[in-house]
Structure 1
Amino acid sequence: MLDVPSTASLRVYVSEWENGRRPISTRYAKILRALLGITDDELSGRAATLAAPLAADGYDELMGRIDAARSVSLTMVQTFMDQTELFRTMDRQMGAASLVDQVTAHLATLEDALTFAVLPEARRPVARALAGAATMAAWQALDVGAVERAWRHYELGKRAAQEAEEPMYLAHATAEQAYVLCDAGRAPMAVQLIRDAQRLGGKAMSPRLTAWLYAAEAEICARAGMPDDCLRALEKATRSLPPGAEARDPDMPSIFLNEGHLTRWRGNALALIGDDEAVSSLYTALDNADPTFIRASAGMRCDLAQAHIARGEYDQAHEHLRLARLIASRTGSVRQRRRVEQLTQQL
């Protein structure tokens, strides 16, 4: 039980705390936390207002933030999504390392908007924007080696997608989260998670996202040492992909996948299982690669190095690893640099 001082003593102490003449000791901090129901951080910020009238009890500020959240219109939500798209474009071309602070602030703004939005019609659009931004931020965090931050961002993205009632966003965040497990050496668990992502998406998924999920499953099965499952998933990805050169999924802004991208992904998976067809697929993808996907080109060079190593063609592998190392250093990709070093040890 806490030993609370007399009212007269407390008045003296409060006056001294307010005027800065006495610090709040550990003992009284414990008492005040219990009496006021606040944290240490809140206590340090409220020491000067402990004797304030009841009108300043926090409700005015809370209602102000709720009222402000009501003014987040669909136009503002679109602005949030446009910012996410800008960060996504900058990430593709320059890497994630230089965007950490900006993306963190962007996520905090969206979380705040969702926290103080009350009614579903206000919350769902913000939750959808947050789901997309959190998943993007998670992949960037994974790329720069901040794996726990990546995991937490994926969890945030999944929660936001569930609140937004957006199965496609939930499936995408869950599928990308499987890569964290895969990179950590838990490929069999990652296979289970990627298949669960397909279940979560269900019939709501677009054909392009469906193809993307099967391609991701193929890569993760390859890394799990499941070549037959890998090949079956690649076939499903090929059958699901819509025809034509268009890569962007209009229903899922973060998904880029056309025949050229899938050819590269196929080469990646085949290289991982040691299939001789990997080299031709990867060179075809390299010739047709989108020049704006600069960070992704490091991964393609690593794929080619892996395919050449499997064939005992070490000179070609050395050259692709040299280029991959340069690109990964330029974009600040810790994930790709780690892969370069792992492949270099095989030479």
Structure 2
Amino acid sequence: MLKQLHSIRYMYIRSHLFGLILNTFVLLAVLLSIYVWFTPSWLSAGAILLFVSLYFVLGLFMAFYAGFKSSGDMKERLEGISTIIAHLSRGNFNARIHTLEQDEIAGISKELNELGEKLKQQKESLLRLADEKAEFAKTAHKAATIEERQRLARDLHDAVSQQLFALTMMSQASLRVFDHDPKKAKEQLEEITKMALQAQTEMRALLLHLRPVHLSGDPLKSGIDGLIDELRQKCQIDFQVELDEVEQISETTEEHLFRIVQEALSNILRHSNATEVKVALVKKNRELFLHIGDNGIGFDTEAKKSNKASYGLKTMRERCEEIGGNFAIRSREGEGTHIDIRIPIHERQMK
């Protein structure tokens, strides 16, 4: 009930009533002034009271009628504006409002029509962009898949395939000299064993690289722990792990960090000959620090940029930069390799 009293219709009625009361007081003041100053015979106090009372009652009815009549048109026009706003909010950008008036409300209606047309054009543009983005994503994914397959094919050919070929040749040679020179055959068998272990390590690194990128909903700490536990069972490497619980980071950041750790461990298995590896993930203030170090053979970062391991380093650097981080690598021959990454923490958006 109180809400209705504040509606535009009752606002119009109140304004007419205020005008009626003001006119009644003005009329009463005029009649009383004439009565006091001139005292005409036809004007008495009773006549003044009767005339003012009749004027007020008649004006009261006229105020209600005029208020309802004038507010009805205004209410109808405002309801039209409200309707088109509701259509626009629901995504119906073809809705339009038509008016013949030339006042301020007509101007608002015209602006709403123009807004609907602009929103319609923006919607069409966004749909086109979405289609183009989806097509671009498919093309990029296809190109990335082809590139990754080519790289894995090169790695298999350059490492495992050549090692297996060498193993075959040395095995045949060992069989030929086994009867008349057992000592030399034993030396060749020891070399074959070393080469077989190297090929096995290379295959483990390639399989690690082919591991799924996504964490499947697991926290980053759990994903890294699982990855290192798997390597502990297969490799004779002492892993030192220090991982903080990190919860308020985006899924994209988690996946990129996991992929960086995966790529770094793959490079360590294939190239470093390390016996100790340290992985640390520390959260401090509004930053996340990731350290991956080994005691392997190391390399000259400037002299070996063309080395096949540089592809992995380039990929890690690009992933780090995509999430706004800083990538630094320190390595010297005979002193191991150390990767340090610093990333600002962007809180996971609430869904």
TM-score, scaled relative to structure 1: 0.23
Structure ranking higher in helix proportion: 1
Which is greater in Rg? Answer: 2
Structure ranking higher in strand proportion: 2
